[in-house]
Amino acid sequence: MKGLRWLPLPALIWFGLFIAVPLLLVFVVSFATRGTYGGVEWTWTFDNYIKIFSSSYVLIFFESIKLATVTTVGCAVIGVFVAWAMATATPSRRYLYLCLLALPFLTNLIIRIYALRVFLGYEGPVQSVLTMLGIPFDPFAFSQGQSLVLYGMITTYLPFMIFPLYGAFEKFDFNLVEAAQDLGAGPWKCLFSVILPNLKRPLINGSVLVFIPAMGEYVIPDLLGGAKTMLFGNLITERFLKSRDWPQGAALSVLLIAVLLLVVFISMRTERKGE
Amino acid sequence: MSNERQRPSAPKSASIILHIVLAMLYLPIIVMLLGAVIQRVDGAWQFTFHWINEVVTDAHLMDALLNSMIVALAASLLSTVVGTLGALAAVKSSKTLRDMLAGMSLISLIFPEIVFALALLSWFFLLHVPLGLPTVIIAHVSFSLSYVMMTVGARLATLDKSFEDAGRDLGASEWQILKSVTIPLLKPAVVGGFILSFLLSFDDFLITYFVNGVGTDTLPIKLYSAMKMGISPKLNALSSIMFLISLIAMIFFFRSASFRVLFENNGGPQNGKDE
């Protein structure tokens, strides 16, 4: 190791300077006061936190938790079936499916939302088909709204759930399923009594990976939700960029971080208990 | 995989769900791509390059493309160098340093983007750093660093130590071993990490949105503001071009061996927290 002692330095300095210090700064700013023209004045106060619990922020906060939870559960239910189907396909198909699911995960979210709006929008294929079939529908519901946000969230975060589940299926001993089948178990019985008990950990991991970004999501509700859907990520952004009330925005972020750390902490504890 | 013989297949419904998910992910994108090159003239569908041409000759959009390219190349080069050194340091250093590096990269993987975005914004503000391309590049390095460390780290973990030992027996210094043995062996993972960070940077919206200065819009920012006005064939063309650029980078990524290492052996794209 002589002569290579500097090796960790670049990464440590970068992490320190551009991740650790800025995050600590958010914490510090959250106790400061808003300047008259935006910006920050270093007068210490708890007001920013008190304000969170005495205003509509709390409602937005719980609304976000609800949406993130529904997204997580939706991803988990769909994810189990998708990963199961993937893992039992032929090996070459398995790799194809893996690539096909990773591809959207690596393309621009804005592009995917744009494509979704083209797809569902006015004169788009979905509305055209519905009109052709004579099925009545509300065109407005296809341009923005809560269900559209949920659709966007689930399709966006599904890969985070599928990959850990698929990884677990790859290591899963399918002899167990065969044994269960020989003993007369149907597919549902196999799923609930044989497969799911072995998927606890990847399900928890996947849920954390979905819940955390879903909680802080800004783009999807902003572009698909319309004016009525305000979520926590939008609230923080609005405070920071539009009202320029940084201390308030920082306090809201600290609350967000606290909740997310709690989620990670709980998931780690349940993991340890499972052993 | 140990049990590579026939796995008992999942029920038909699982496979149907898999294909519905794929359709939900891909149909909008296909419609968008078609919308860029096909238009309806007098009731007949016609192929056209008109909209692509509109985008390519739009000076503002081309400036944004140039900005996106500069940012993505600079950010991915920097994060590849720093991240590779970090991953190497993580295996070669003392336990404290290793834990510090692992903790740091964990933080940047699990914290939502929005928190970093506003943390970095506050930090730049405090340091009086003017917002512009350099701040965007710094921010992009901060979030792609962990992905590089993860990709390279996954490869390092499977690396046969005897090559390095052979070098040591032949009297090479640690630096020579690193330069002529370890790094060449890591090349596929380093290339994979580079492409991955290029993709993440080229596609990033939220962090750029926060730390971006006036007049240095990247393509996703342009698309976001244009999309607020609604959809149009020109935007179809713009999104399609962006999508194809990411797709090309992605094909390189899928072909690099690092993809399999990341997604198959590790059980998930962000599975660092298991270790």
Q: Is A218 within 8 Å of B114 when comparing Cβ atoms?
A: yes
Q: Is B119 within 8 Å of A23 when comparing Cβ atoms?
A: yes
Q: Where are the domains of chain A?
A: 47-273
State the average pLDDT over residues A135-151.
81
CA A74/CA A69 separation, integer angstroms: 8
Of B81, B89, B115, the CB nearest to A256: B115
B138: chain A residues, CB-CB within 8 Å:
18
DSSP labels for B260-274? Answer: HIIIIISSSTTGGGG
Mean pLDDT of chain A: 86
Q: Does B120 touch chain A (CB under 8 A)?
A: yes
- Top pLDDT among B105 and A70 is at A70
Q: Where are the domains of chain B?
A: 12-48, 59-274
Q: Does B147 touch chain A (CB under 8 A)?
A: no
Q: Which residue of A has its CA nearest to B222?
A: A110
**Which CA distances in Å does B98 have to A125, B102, B150, B153?**
53, 6, 13, 12
- Top pLDDT among A106 and B85 is at B85
State the average pLDDT over residues A126-134.
85
State the average pLDDT over residues A24-48.
84
pLDDT at A102: 83
pLDDT at B266: 44
pLDDT at B1: 46
Does residue A14 register a pLDDT over 60?
A: yes
Q: Is A124 within 8 Å of B270 when comparing Cβ atoms?
A: no
Q: How far is B114 from chain A (nearest CA, A)?
A: 6
Q: Is B89 within 8 Å of A7 when comparing Cβ atoms?
A: yes
Q: Does B23 touch chain A (CB under 8 A)?
A: no
State the average pLDDT over residues A117-126.
83
State the average pLDDT over residues A140-153.
83
User: Would you say A168 and B267 are in contact if contact means Cβ atoms under 8 Å apart?
Assistant: yes
Does residue A207 register a pLDDT over 70?
A: yes
pLDDT at B177: 83
Q: Is B210 within 8 Å of A114 when comparing Cβ atoms?
A: no
Q: Is B246 within 8 Å of A86 when comparing Cβ atoms?
A: no
Fold of B59-274: MetI-like fold (1.10.3720)
Q: Does domain A47-273 have CATH number 1.10.8.590?
A: no
- The amino acid occupying position B197 is S
CA B27/CA B164 separation, integer angstroms: 49
Encode A146-213 in three state secondary structure. HHHHHHHHHHHHHHHHHHHHHHHHHHCCCHHHHHHHHCCCCHHHHHHHHHHHHHHHHHHHHHHHHHHH
pLDDT at B3: 46
Residues of chain B with pLDDT under 50: 1-3, 265-275
Q: Is A117 within 8 Å of B121 when comparing Cβ atoms?
A: no
List all residues of chain A from 105 to 144 with a beta carbon under 8 Å from chain B: 105-121, 124-125
CA B106/CA B86 separation, integer angstroms: 13
Q: Does B163 touch chain A (CB under 8 A)?
A: no
Q: How far is A54 from chain B (nearest CA, A)?
A: 23
List all residues of chain A from 157 to 196 with a beta carbon under 8 Å from chain B: 158-160, 163-164, 167-168, 170-171, 173-175, 177-178, 181, 187-188
Q: How many CB pairs under 8 A join A and B?
A: 297
Q: Is B3 within 8 Å of A19 when comparing Cβ atoms?
A: no
Rounded to 5 degrees, φ, ψ at A38 are 80, -170
Q: Which residue of A has its CA nearest to B114?
A: A216
A262: chain B residues, CB-CB within 8 Å:
none
What are the E-state strand segments in chain B?
38-41, 44-47
Does residue A79 register a pLDDT over 90?
A: yes
Cα A158 versus chain centre, distance: 9
Cα A237 versus chain centre, distance: 17
CA B151/CA B136 separation, integer angstroms: 23
Of A29, A98, A175, the CB nearest to B3: A175
pLDDT at B261: 57
List all residues of chain B from 41 to 70 with a beta carbon under 8 Å from chain A: none
Task: Report residue A6's pLDDT band, with 50, 70 and 90 as the boundaries.
Answer: confident
pLDDT at B268: 41
pLDDT at A139: 75
Does residue A65 register a pLDDT over 90?
A: yes
